[in-house]
Each structure stands twice: as structure tokens, then as C-alpha cells.
Chain A
Amino acid sequence: MIIEVKDISKAFNGQKILDDFNINIEDEHSYILTGESGCGKTTLLRIILGLETPDAGKVTLLGDYKYPYINAGVVFQEDRLCDSFSAVTNCSLVSKKVFKQTVREELCKLLPEDKVDIPVKELSPAERRLVCIVRACCIPSDVLIMDEPFEGLSGDIRDKAISFVRDKMGSGSLVIASRDTTGLEFGRIVTLVP
């Protein structure tokens, strides 16, 4: 599948955030959207996901058949977890196609075993971020779309999380929005300017 982002423009309160932006997101390719805060990274991801309507231009899904929607694993800028439920429940509730045992195994690759069955509100911000990453990666998807997924992660755990995402990307595509591109040089770096 190719996600064709064509001539996208978007303004908020008269201020143009994106101006005739174009990119083709292809299978088996990684794209790292970078740039200063406010340059339109999050807006672009939201437009791709259909959460925001562009002022001009369009997003088209091209491929072997007509795709009705983007089947994406998503990490939002905020955690967006159901606080009272465990990491296992948070990851398995997003799809009927995943089993709790599989989810638990995936979570244990990034988190200690004793953290996966307690309510996520009891986890540290970094651990919650890791849950979000696993949630996006453990469901079958055509594309992984991640907004600042490694924010708050440092050192070994950041490297481990990056390896995990690359491993889980499979034959789909990967789009990461991140101000810090350290460790993300494997992807095509696209710098957005405000």
C-alpha cells in the first residue's frame, strides 16, 4: 500500500502550518518527520489518520485493491491509555485479532513481567510510553504511525524500543514524528519547516 499525501495545506487561526506538502509513504520504508515544535508534524499525522481535515490537498490510499481506511498501529503524542486497566488489557482491547498471551509476551520484551498486569496508572511515564509502543505494534497493521514515541525514554531502553519497532514494522511502512532523530537514521529523514 502507498499512502499518497498530495498538496496538503493546513492553517490554524490564519497561521499556515502545512503548505502544499507532498510525500508518498511506501511499504517497507521508514520515514522520520522532524523539525521544530509547531512545524506541522502532529498535524500531518492527524491528517493522514483522518482526524483532521486539510484545507487543501488529499490523502489517497493506493494499492492492489481499494483500501477503505488506513489500518494503522498508532502512538499518539499523549499516552491515551485506559488508566484503570493493565498494560495487557490496554494492548489487547484495541483489536479482536490479538490474544492476551501474545500481548503479554510482546510487553515482556520491553517491560518487567511484574508491570504488565497492574493498572497502567501505577506505571512510570516511561513505562506507559512503552505500553503505547507495544499497543501500536502488536496488532496486524499496514502502517505504524508514531508521534514522538520515544519521548521520555533514554539510553538502553530507547535503543531497545527503537529495535522493537523496527522488528515489528514487518513489510508495512513506518512513520515517526520526532524532534530528536538520534538512533532513527535508518529512515528517510523529512524535515518540516514552519
Chain B
Amino acid sequence: MSVKLKQLLEMAKVYRIPKSRVIRYIYIPELFSFLKGRDR
């Protein structure tokens, strides 16, 4: 797990952001960014 993802998940935990929002705003963009980086 990247440091950035870990930090964002910690932020989500502190603010008690619902799981659906964590997936939409944190996991999916991180996955896209990972895939984009891998394609280069």
C-alpha cells in the first residue's frame, strides 16, 4: 500500500467517511493512478 493511500485512509478514518465515499474518492482514483503509472 502506498504511503499516500495509507495517509488518505487515516484521514478517512478520523473523519469517519462512509465506505462508499472512501471507494469513490480514494480507492478508485488511486487505482487509476496506479494503472496509469504502470502503462508508462
Contacts and interface: CB of A to CB of B under 8 A. Distances in A.
A83 B29 contact: yes
Interface in B1-40: 7-8, 10-11, 13-18, 21, 25-26, 29
A176 to B, nearest CB: 16
Contacts of A93: 17, 21, 25
A82 B17 contact: no
Contact of A94 (B10, B17, B29): B17
A139 B17 CA distance: 12
B7 A72 contact: no
Given A93-B17, A93-B21, A94-B17, A80 B29 contact: no
A74 B15 contact: yes
A164 interface: no
A49 B12 CA distance: 12
B11 A76 contact: yes
A72 B17 contact: no
Contacts of A49: 14
B14 A51 contact: yes
Interface in A54-98: 69, 72, 74, 76, 78, 80, 82-85, 89, 93-96
Nearest to B28: A84
A58 B35 CA distance: 42
Which of A49, A83, A93 has the most C-beta atoms of chain B within 10 angstroms of its own C-beta?
A93
A49 B34 CA distance: 30
25 contacts: A49-B14, A51-B13, A51-B14, A72-B14, A74-B11, A74-B14, A74-B15, A78-B7, A80-B7, A80-B8, A80-B10, A80-B11, A82-B8, A82-B25, A82-B26, A82-B29, A83-B29, A84-B29, A85-B25, A85-B29, A89-B25, A93-B17, A93-B21, A94-B17, A96-B18
Interface of A: 49, 51, 69, 72, 74, 76, 78, 80, 82-85, 89, 93-96, 139
Interface of B: 7-8, 10-11, 13-18, 21, 25-26, 29
10 pairs of A and B residues whose beta carbons are closest in the complex = A94-B15, A80-B11, A82-B25, A84-B29, A80-B7, A74-B14, A93-B25, A93-B21, A49-B14, A78-B7
